[in-house]
Amino acid sequence: MGSSYKTKSDILIKQFIQYIQVERGLSANTLESYSRDVRDFADFLQNSSLELVSEATYLNIAEYLAHLHKSGLSSSTIDRKTDSIRSFFRFLTSERQIPKDPTKLIESSRSWSKLPSVLSIEEINSLLEQPDISKPLGLRDRVILEIMYATGLRVSEIVELKLTDLNSELGYLRCSGKGNKERIVPVGSKALKVIKNYLDSGRALLKPKNDYLLINYKGEKLTRDGIRRIIQQLAKSANISKKVTPHTLRHCFATHLLERGADLRSLQEMLGHADISTTQIYTHVNSKMLKDVHQRFHPRG
C-alpha cells in the first residue's frame, strides 16, 4: 500500500501546490511550507491505515489536530498547519476530486496569509500599455490584462472562458466560478474594445484549435501558469517593483471599486464570493480613505 499511497497522494499534493502558486502567487518558502504541512498530514493518515489523503474525514482531521496539540507545538504553528490542510481540501473540492470539504466544520484559525499588494492606477495603466498590440500575442496579452482588471475574474475562471461566454452588445461575460456556480459579470467599454480588436485581428492568426477565448501561440487553450508567466513578464517590463500575480489584478479590481464607492454586496456578486465576509477582506486597504472622509466631513474630524 505504501508505494501506491505515496504516488496518489503526492500527485494530489503536487497539483495543489501548482494551483496555489498560480492563484495566489506565494513565495517559494511559503509554497514549501504548504507542501510540508500537507505531506505531514498525509503521513499521519498513512500511519492510521487510511488509503488516500483525499479520503480523510472530519474525524481524521480532528484526530490529527489533537495529535499536534499533544506534540507541544505552538498555537501559531498549529494555526498554519490547519490553514494548509483547509486550503488543500478547498482545492480538492473546487477541482471536484472530492464531493464535499471535510474541513468546513473545523474552526477558522486566527492567522491567514497576507493579501497581495495593490497597484496604483498609474501602475495599472503602465501595465496595460506593455503588450505590443501590433502582434496577435500582444493583442491577446492586452485582453488578459483588460478582462482581469475589468471583471476581477479568477485566473482559473478566465482560462475557461469561451467565445460564447462574451456578450459584446450587452457588455457582460458569463463565467463559472467555484462550485461550478455561474455568474454574469459586467465588462467596461474599454475592455470590450480591446477584446473586439483581438477577435477581429489577432485570434484567427493564432490558428485556434478550439473555441476558448484565450489561446497560446499553438492555437491551444491557455493555461493558468501561462497567464501567470505573461503577467509577471509584463509587470517586469513596466518596472513595477511590487510582486504582481493574476490574483493581484483581482485584488486591484476589488480595491479600486471600493475606493470609488462600490458597495460590498455588489462587489460580492461580481467576485463570486459565497459569503460576504470573504469580500470584506478587501476593505482593509480603504482604512486611509475612510479616515480622510471622516476628517473632511465629521464636525470634529
The predicted-structure confidence for 16-75, as pLDDT tens digits, reads as follows 999 988 887 777 888 999 999 999 999 999 887 787 888 888 888 888 988 888 888 887
DSSP state of 185: E
**Per-residue model confidence (pLDDT) at position 296:** 62
Cell, residue 59: 474525524
Is 18 in contact with 225 (CB distance < 8 Å)? yes
Q: In whole angstroms, what is the distance from residue 273 CA to residue 282 CA?
A: 12
C-alpha 130/C-alpha 238 separation (Å) is 7
The length of the chain in residues reads 301
Which parts of the chain register pLDDT below 70?
Answer: 1-6, 107-116, 179, 277, 280-301
CATH of domain 121-290: 1.10.443.10
Tell me the C-alpha distance between 56 and 293, whole Å: 49
Return the closest-CA partner of residue 41 out of 11, 86, 98, 95.
86
End-to-end Cα spacing for the chain? 68
Q: Which residue has the cell 490529527?
A: 64
Give the model's pLDDT for residue 230. 96
pLDDT of residue 46: 86
Instruction: Report the CATH number of the 2-94 domain.
Output: 1.10.150.130
Cell numbers linked to 84: 494548509
> Which residues belong to the active site?
154, 178, 247, 250, 273, 282
pLDDT for the residue numbered 219: 93
Which residue ranges does the chain devote to CATH 1.10.443.10? 121-290
Dist. CA 270–CA 222, nearest whole Å: 23
Q: How far is Cα 130 from Cα 110, in angstroms, rounded to an integer?
A: 39
pLDDT at 4: 47
Q: CATH 1.10.150.130: which residues of the chain?
A: 2-94
pLDDT at 113: 43
What is the SS3 assignment for 138? helix
**Which tens digits make up the pLDDT trace of 229-246?**
999 999 999 999 988 989
